Structure 1
Amino acid sequence: MTVRNLPDDLHRRIRLYAAEHGLSAEAAVRRLLDEATRPAERLGDVVVAYARARAVDFPETPRDRTPVSPAEFS
């Protein structure tokens, strides 16, 4: 992939970011693109990762599969 017409200011910021992180400009762009396009973490994923990192044991809880009636507003 080639990106043309990159504004000078953006190119300078990429080179500065790369230098600060010990990366080549190309590696910095890959990292920045990856971070910018990564899906946002969902709260449930964050909680599970936190609990797993601390070896928390969650009990198995059966799911209630009883059908639900829609609410009526009168």
Structure 2
Amino acid sequence: MGNITVRNLSDDVHRRVRFVAAERGISVEEAARQLLDEASRPAEKVGDAIVEYVQSLDAFLPDIERSDDTAEPADFR
């Protein structure tokens, strides 16, 4: 697991992280980890948006298991 040190954090940011920690009943360190995790995730996967749109049309969509495998880049040589 990686480590990170954040220096020169503004008082305002530190106050907000402390507020989130208190609100969630966790440590400031855990709150910082959670906030970084939440901020670094994509808001929505394109595939999920497409599925939601197709389902809103009441169209038939076969139930296909999603793969989390990473696709290999194409080699055009």
Q: Which residue of 2 aligns with 1:9?
A: 12
TM-score normalised per structure 2? 0.56
User: Structure 2 unaligned runs (5+)?
Assistant: 56-60, 65-77
Amino-acid identity (%): 58
Q: Which residue of 1 aligns with 2:71?
A: none
Number of residue pairs aligned between Structure 1 and Structure 2: 54
Aligned mate of 1:28, from 21, 27, 31: 31
TM-score normalised per structure 1? 0.58
Residues 8-61 of structure 1 show CA distances to partners (whole Å, capped at 9, x for unaligned) of: 11111100110000110000000000011112322532537xx8xxxxx7279x
Q: CA RMSD in A?
A: 2.8
Aligned mate of 2:22, from 19, 23, 42: 19
Q: Which runs of 4+ in 1 moved over 3 A?
A: none
Larger RCO, structure (CA 8 Å, separation 6 or more): 1
Aligned mate of 2:45, from 37, 42, 47: 42
User: Structure 1 unaligned runs (5+)?
Assistant: 52-56, 61-74
